[in-house]
Amino acid sequence: MQLKRVVITGLGALTPLGNSVPEYWEGLRNGVSGAAPITNFDASKFRTRFACELKGFDPLQYFDRKEARKLDPFSQYAVVAAEQAVQDARLVEDKVNPDRVGVIWGSGIGGIRTFQDEMDGFFKGDGTPRFNPFFIPKMIADSSSGNISIRYGFRGPNFVTTSACASSSDSIVAAYNYIRLGLADVMVTGGSEAAITEAGVGGFNAIKAMSERNDDPTTASRPYDKDRDGFVLGEGAGALVLEEWEHAKARGATIYGELIGGGMSADAYHITAPDPEGKGVVLVMENALKDAGIRPEDVDYINTHGTSTPLGDGAEVKAIQQVFGEHAYNLNISSTKSMTGHLLGAAGAIEAVASVLAVKHGIIPPTINHFTDDEEIDSRLNFTFNEAQERPLQVALSNTFGFGGHNTTVIFRKVDM
C-alpha cells in the first residue's frame, strides 16, 4: 500500500507568549519569558507562586456567556486554537467534505478546574448532592474534540489521546496515520491544558516537580542550566490542520511544511522519573527516523522535551548523543519550554507549531535563561542558548515525554512550493 503524504495547512496557538500564532512566534524569536506570579488564584501559601499563564484571554471574546459556562477552560482553549487553525486553512471557506474531516485532540488532565470547583461546592454544602448538570460534560477530556467537531460539523474520526505530557504529540501521530492510510482527507489535531489551579500546582509541588524560584519567575525555567530546579507550569493550546498532499494542492491551500514521521515508545522504568540512560528516548527517536525514512544526518534541529528538571534534561541529551553520534554537534537543539513553561498535555502541540515555523522561516527559537554550564551535560552541543539563530533548515524533530514513561517524537520537513 502506498502511504499518502501529509502536510500542514493551518496553525493555531494560545500560549503564555501570545494568543495567536504570530504573537507566539514573535515571543519565541525574541526569547520572551511567559512566567509571572499566578493570578488565577491566591497562591501565597503554595511553595510555587508563579506560572506561565495565558495573558488577556477573555472567553467572552469567543463565546457567548451561556456557551462559555458549558466549557471548562481547557475546552475553551481547544475550540479557540482549533478555530484559528481551521480559519488559517480555509476549511470552511473551501467547503471541504465534512465526512472526511476528523478531530483528534490531546489533554493530559482535562477539566481539572471544573472538577475542583464542583467538589469544593459539594464539600462546603450540607452534603446534599447538588451538581451542575454540565459537570461531567465539562470535565471529561473528550469534550475538547467533541466541541470542535460540533462547531464545524466535522464527522470524521473523533477522539482524545491522554498520555500525560505526550498527549498532544500522540494526537498528532494518530491524525497523521488516519490521513496517510487514506481514512481521512483532513484532520484537526493538537492539544490543550488548563491546570494552573490549586489542585494542579499543589499536586505538582507535592512530587517536587516544579521550580520554586519565586524570587525570579522569569528565569525559573532554565533547561540544561546547572541550577535548574524543576519545570514551570504553563497553560494554553496548540492546533494543526493536517491534510493529504494532493487534497491540499487541489484546493490551493497554503502549505507550512510536511509531517514525515512519528515514533512512540515506553521507558518501562518508573511512573514519574525518566530512565537515566534514556533507553526509551533513544528508541522513540530511532522509531520516528525509521518511519520518516531518513537518516540521523538529515535532521537539522531538535525541539527537545527539555523541561528544566534535574534528571530529565540530562537523560534526553544522552539519548540524542547516542542516536545522532557525531552529527549531534551539527544540530541546533533548543527547549522552547524555557519561554512557555510546560503545558503538560498541550506541550507537544505548541512545540510542533514552533518546529513547523522554525523550518518554514529558517529560525531556531532559543533556550533562554542559561547562566551556568552543567558539567554533566556536554557543553559542545549547540543548545541555542539565549538568542535565536538563523540557519537553513530542512528537517526538525520534536520530542515529548510524559509521566508513565510515554515517549513520542514527530518529524517535520520543509516543502518547497
**Percent of the chain scored above 70 by pLDDT?**
100
User: What's the average model confidence in pLDDT over 32-58?
Assistant: 97
As a whole number of angstroms, the distance between CA 85 and CA 310 comes to: 35
Q: Mark whether 52 is an active-site residue.
A: no
Reply yes or no on whether the pLDDT at 130 is more than 90.
Answer: no
User: What's the average model confidence in pLDDT over 228-233?
Assistant: 98
Reply yes or no on whether the pLDDT at 317 is more than 90.
Answer: yes
Domain spanning 263-413, CATH architecture: 3-Layer(aba) Sandwich (3.40)
Say whether 263-413 and 6-250 share the same fold: yes
As a whole number of angstroms, the distance between CA 175 and CA 198 comes to: 33
Predicted pLDDT of residue 206: 97
Q: Pick the catalytic residue from 101, 165, 331, 381.
A: 165
- What are the structural domain ranges in the chain? 6-250, 263-413
Reply yes or no on whether the pLDDT at 1 is more than 80.
Answer: no
**Residue from 19, 58, 3 nearest 239 by CA:** 19
Predicted pLDDT of residue 417: 66
Q: Which residue has the cell 510542533?
A: 352
Helix (H) or strand (E) holding 27: helix 21-29
As a whole number of angstroms, the distance between CA 264 and CA 283 comes to: 8
Per the DSSP assignment, residues forming a β-bridge with 334 are 303
- Give me the chain's average pLDDT, please: 96
As a whole number of angstroms, the distance between CA 371 and CA 368 comes to: 9
As a whole number of angstroms, the distance between CA 115 and CA 149 comes to: 23
Predicted pLDDT of residue 274: 87
User: What's the average model confidence in pLDDT over 81-106?
Assistant: 96
Burial 114-141 (b: 16+ CB within 10 A, else e): bbbbbeeeeeeeeeeeeeeeebebbbbb
Predicted pLDDT of residue 62: 96
As a whole number of angstroms, the distance between CA 243 and CA 184 comes to: 8
As a whole number of angstroms, the distance between CA 415 and CA 387 comes to: 26
Sheet holding 186-193, edge to edge: 158-161, 101-106, 186-193, 236-244, 6-14, 257-266, 406-413, 395-402, 301-303, 332-334
The pTM of the whole model exceeds 0.85: yes
Helix (H) or strand (E) holding 229: none
Q: For domain 6-250, is the CATH number 3.40.47.10? A: yes
Predicted pLDDT of residue 184: 98
* Residues listed for the chain: 417
As a whole number of angstroms, the distance between CA 235 and CA 197 comes to: 10
User: What's the average model confidence in pLDDT over 146-168?
Assistant: 97
Reply yes or no on whether the pLDDT at 316 is more than 90.
Answer: yes
| Secondary structure class of 408 (helix, strand, coil) | strand
C-alpha dist (Å) from residue 290 to 59, 121, 286, 316, 398: 42, 51, 6, 19, 15
